[in-house]
Structure 1
Amino acid sequence: MYRQVLDPLAGSLLWSALCASLPLLTMFVLLGVFRVRAQIAAVAALALALALAVLVWDMPVSQALSSAAEGGFYGLFPVLWILVNALWIYRLTEITGWFAVLRRSFRSVSTDQRVQGILIAFCFGALIEALAGFGAPVAITAVMLVAVGIAPLKAATVALVANTAPVAFGSMAVPLTTLAGVTGLPLDELGAMAGRQTPLIAVLIPLVLVFLLDGRRGVRESWPVAVVAGLAFGLAQFVSANYISVEVTDIIAGVVALAAVLGFLRVWQPVQSVQSVQPVQPVQPVQPVQPVQPVQLVQPVSGDESVREEPLPEEPAAGGALMAFAPYLIIVALFALTQFGPVKEWLGVHGLVRFTWPGLDVETATGQPAGAMTFKLEHLKAAGTILLVAGLLTTALYRIGPGRAAKAYGATLHQLRWTFVTVTSVLALAWVMNLSGQTVTLGTALARTGTAFALFSPVVGWLGVAVTGSDTSSNSLFGVLQVTAAHRTGLDPVLLAAANSTGGVLGKMLSPQNLAVAAASIGMAGSESVIFRKVLGWSLGMLAVFAVLVYLQSTPVLGWMTV
């Protein structure tokens, strides 16, 4: 049996925390400063974390390796399981030509890419986050942004930044229900508190998106629609979290924001379209077909010639746009079905397997069994499985033969070959740090700051999500720590526990796991360091503002917001 130690280095919590930060610093410096490929940075950080676990935290070698294996398997399932099937669906729409129809359909709503960015990444992405989470919104919205002609790197950046405000209530509020489970705090109170924090993020995000798409000119010319989207989403999120239902908060907010934007666009449009200001190119040049037909073929993002298939459909007749959107409507319908009472209960019983990961026997510093030893295999209810079913239904709807569908799936796996290395290494790193005690050492050191801990409480959640890529995992890891620190400092435990989740969402955009998902989605695996540098400033800047907000909520200045 291995028992975690908080201060293994010379009995000093400070020095131990600095030592525990080395794997993360190594990975971020390699990505951001030396521009090393993500898979190399992740493997290097994992190797360092393993060495620290064994040599400093005195974790048995066998258990350190077993924890890395568990994290790597979690990277395969559910994370990469989601990404593979989401990109397979995209490839099916591409080889049949319906992807180009989808592009024209979005342009029929608005030809302005700043508006399209808000509709796709912010509004539609919130609905996908509400139902699926775990990287699916980034994977799906990134390729949809490329579909409307937004440059790939810009599309990935926009998709990552947009996937913030909905995250705390994502997957039918799983992060908050997990937080309530580990802390013993009422879910309604945690949801209400989160609903008084995340709307302030939501109001800012659409403005940030138009800035990313077109700079200051974009904000100046399209701020009205950005403000409408942010206010509609934030207000709906606040009302639902406080007065309706925590679980359906993001669904309500996403639908309200989408309706508000579409309604507003009927009476207002930007004076100048961003397309005339800043033309963008598709991922790869469009290839002409044989002279027999005056149509075009879409080339796969990966450049794999083997899956290029049929000519694009002509401009859609009645119902053509619906066919183009059909795969994504199928996805939403299937996820909604899994949340339906009897179906949800059946999947909860038959679609979930729990087991203790072999070779692990770990206790926390307080003597409790480490939760990360128990692996939850959601083989039927997993988002990736639902996406696989959606893909099979898409092949039937588009009349794609088994051979073509299998060839497209194989091409998707080939495209993601380096992403597999990155994601599995990053999740292995997270599990090694969590089970050895390195992550708890970092969080405990920040919790020793007294009443000023209210300022650092969101930072702890941010750190957890940056390491694991999951707000749910961060809440599992640091939820009890937040409540314990609150009791010791006389602060409100609901405030700090909620801040762990809401502050954590700002770390998701620069988690190496999500960077790898974004890069793979746009067909540019290996560009994670470039994307990382683009989102780092936004993540840290919004975290600083949010930390001040939570601190003021712990004082009489904004204490009225927590009542």
Structure 2
Amino acid sequence: MEFTTLLWIISIMPIAMLLFFISYLKLPSYLSAILSLGLAGFLALTVFEMQPAQMAISAGKGGMLSLYVILIIAGAVILFNIVNRAGGFDSMKIYINNLGGDRTLKLLGLSWAFSSFIQGITGFGVPVAIVGAMLAGIGYKPIIALTTVLIGHSWAISFGSMGSSFYALQLVTGLEPVRLGTVMALLFFLPIFTTGLFTVHVYGGLKAVKKEIKYVLPISLAMGAMMVFAAWMGFPHIGSLLAGLTGSGLFLAILILRTGERAELPGNVMSLKAALFPYIMLIGAVLLAQLPPIAAFLPGWELALSFPGFTTGLGFEVSPEAEFSPIGFFTHPFFFLVLSSAAGLIFYRLRGHLNSKAWKNILAESYSRANTSILTVFLLMILASLMNDSGMVYTFARGMAGFSGAFFPVISPIIGILGAFLTGSNTSSNVLFGAFQIDAATLLDHSPYMIASTQSIGGSLGSAIAPAKILMGTAIVGLEGVEGDIVKKCLGYTLISGLLVGLVVLILLQL
């Protein structure tokens, strides 16, 4: 396929339109996706010379990609609503509120570790909603509470939400998942550490950083190690969950050791163990499924479709796909989410925390919370697939690679940050820019695993400045008109973390 400057400019138009509609016109994400998909379809047909049948094949591939992620979103939201309606998160809030100790350390534990544990479970702004309100409710200034949570949990997003962002990137790029997850997890050591330091700096400045770094460093290493372990063992979808749980446990132990106090829960609320029961079941089920005897026992049933290859009128070749984006009935994260949700529903029903009709309200709440996200992911996956198969992404990547040259690894995480800022989602950023980053890496002879990782790390960090999350937080804690202030507070920290990752990758690629 021949490259021209005109084609490069045209290839940018669908993404530029999407970002313009979301950021400047403030249109809903699903409507912006529809309009951008319409433009992409028109350009694919008229400029990049795809045939209608070829466009239908590309749309089918996008639909299969979206189903993989949509199932994760649906399962994670249902599990969260079961625990929330049963009162599990209320118990967690009361327990932490009653635990005494150093306020800086408690803030760090909640906004950096505990919020990341919640991100590992469900995501979608829930950590901001729960921990932001919790911090404000126990006496921290609301703007500080929101800023520290936004920065603190931003490292956990790529492997959070049961891995939806990671799997979206892996599916769009086609990279081997275990290797991609391991490389990304190793690179996350630095952002884990910097977000911890920045969380402390927001609250207490350099004085607090000097005081608390003795906790930030070892806990960063522990959480990073858990993330690497999960990715290396082949279950990246619980990487943030395990890391956040490890960090939360370490902070809890430190607070108890330092103060000699143990928080007590009132007799009329469920115990902390009961509140965490479904998530303990989730972790246990995922870990057990990795054992060879159990893995061999589970049927290998999969849902997958095959798609033919084709060549566009401009000569861009698309390879055939046999069993494209397979969804294993007993290996997909949705299976484990359903198991733990069912166990939680039965457990809370037997304990009297849920009535016999609670499941109807849970499903209604889950649909209300997830329907727009599901629609947007579906549209964006088709948009990404169409742009990829038409040659738009390749053309865009070739132009950017030529513009940035050897310094592209430094720009790569900034592109991820930009995508998350404008779309409000690391998943959406990965879908939009994942294939582009891989094409740029190929053209510049860089490691695709390194560049794909910087894309998702940037998208993860960029969630801290996503307007959608900030607006959710300000509405919950009762702040109005301070969104710009929060963006300004978070922006510098976000860019520093992203640039540091880019520089590290640039250095590694030169060695």
Question: What residue number does 1:235 align with?
Answer: 221
SS in 2 for 1:34: coil
Q: 1:384 aligns with which of 323, 326, 334?
A: 334
Contact 1:447-1:453 within 8 A present in 2 as well: yes
Counterpart code for 1:385: F
User: Given that residues 111 and 148 in structure 2 are in contact (C-alpha distance below 8 angstroms), is that contact kept between their aligned partners in structure 1?
Assistant: no
Q: 1:261 aligns with which of 235, 240, 251?
A: 251
2:406 aligned with 1:451: yes
Does residue 505 of structure 1 match 2:457?
yes
Unaligned runs of 5+ in 1: 270-313, 488-492, 525-529
User: Could you tell me which amino acid in structure 1 is paired with residue 339 of structure 2?
Assistant: V
Q: Is the 8 A contact 1:419 1:520 kept in 2?
A: no
Match of 2:78 in 1: 88
| Matched-pair contact (CA < 8 Å) for 1:70–1:428 | yes
Question: Of residues 21, 25, 28 in structure 1, which corresponds to 2:19?
Answer: 28
CA distance in 2 between counterparts of 1:318 and 1:255 reads 22
Q: 1:46 to 1:140 in 2, by over 3 A?
A: same
Alignment match, 1:302: none
2:28 equivalent to 1:18: no
How far off its partner does 1:326 sit? Answer: 1.8
SS in 1 for 2:357: helix
* 1:390 Cα deviation from its structure 2 partner: 1.5
Aligned with 1:325 (options 266, 270, 276): 276
> For residue 502 of structure 1, what is the amino acid of its counterpart?
T
Structure 2 counterparts to residues 410-425 of structure 1, below 5 A? 410-425=364-379
Residue number in structure 1 paired with 2:324: 374
Q: Deviations over 1:303-350 (max 9, x none)?
A: xxxxxxxxxxx8247972211222222222223233333334555823
Q: Take 2:232 and 2:306, find their aligned partners in 1: how far apart are those partners?
A: 31
Contact 2:33–2:380, Cα closer than 8 Å, also in 1: yes
Could you tell me the TM-score, scaled by structure 2's length? 0.72
For normalisation by structure 1, the TM-score amounts to: 0.66
Contact 1:458–1:546 (Cα < 8 Å) also in 2: yes
State the 1:44 CA deviation.
Answer: 1.9
How far apart are 1:73 and its partner, in Å?
5.2
RMSD between aligned residues = 5.0
Deviation at 1:209, TM superposition (A): 4.2
In 2, Cα distance between the equivalents of 1:65 and 1:245? 34
Unaligned 5+ residue runs, structure 2?
A: 260-264, 477-482
- Structure 2 residue aligned with 1:202: 192
Query: Is residue 544 of structure 1 aligned with residue 495 of structure 2?
Result: no
Query: Which secondary structure state, in structure 2, belongs to the residue aligned with residue 167 of structure 1?
Result: coil
- Note closer, same or farther for the CA distance 1:196–1:71 as it changes in structure 2 (3 Å cut): closer
Query: Structure 1 residues 245, 20: CA separation in 2 closer, same or farther (over 3 Å shift)?
Result: closer
Partner amino acid for 1:48? L
**1:460–1:500 contact (8 Å) kept in structure 2:** no
- Aligned letter for 1:387? L
Counterpart-to-counterpart distance in 2, 1:405 and 1:337: 27
Structure 2 match to 1:283: none
| Distance in 2, Cα, partners of 1:474 & 1:339 | 32
Secondary structure in 1 aligned to 2:300? helix
Residue number among 481, 484, 498 corresponding to 2:442 in the alignment: 484
Deviations 1:231-284 (A, max 9, x none): 235434776899998338957755653444334434668xxxxxxxxxxxxxxx
How many pairs align?
477
Q: Tell me what 1:61 maps to.
A: 52
User: C-alpha displacement at 1:405, in angstroms?
Assistant: 1.0
Please list, as runs of the form range in 1=range in 2, the aligned pairs for 1:495-534 lying within 5 A after superposition: 497-508=449-460, 534=487
| Matches of 1:424 and 1:363, distance apart in 2 | 25
Secondary structure (helix, strand or coil) at the match of 1:381 reads: coil
Q: Deviations over 1:22-42 (max 9, x none)?
A: 222222222222322222222
Cα distance in 1, alignment partners of residues 225 and 451 from structure 2: 19
Q: Residue 198 of structure 1 aligns to which amino acid in structure 2?
A: F
Match of 2:360 among 396, 401, 406: 406
- Secondary structure of 1:59's counterpart equals coil
Distance 1:26-1:51 versus aligned 2 partners, 3 A rule: same
Deviation at 1:429?
Answer: 1.9
More helix, by proportion: 2
Q: Deviations over 1:79-110 (max 9, x none)?
A: 33333333333333343334322221232346
Q: Structure 1 residues 219 and 383, CA, compared in 2 at 3 Å: closer, same or farther?
A: farther
Secondary structure of the equivalent of 2:25? coil
Give the letter aligned to residue 377 of structure 1.
Answer: I
Question: What is the letter of the counterpart of residue 40 of structure 2?
Answer: A
Deviation at 1:409, TM superposition (A): 0.8
**Structure 1 residues 44-53 or 217-226, which shifts more?**
217-226
Separation in structure 1 between the aligned mates of residue 294 and residue 80 of structure 2, nearest angstrom: 27
Equivalent residue number for residue 309 of structure 2: 361
Offset at residue 498 of structure 1 (A): 1.6
CA, structure 1 residues 377+74, in 2 after alignment: closer, same or farther (shift >3 Å)?
Answer: same
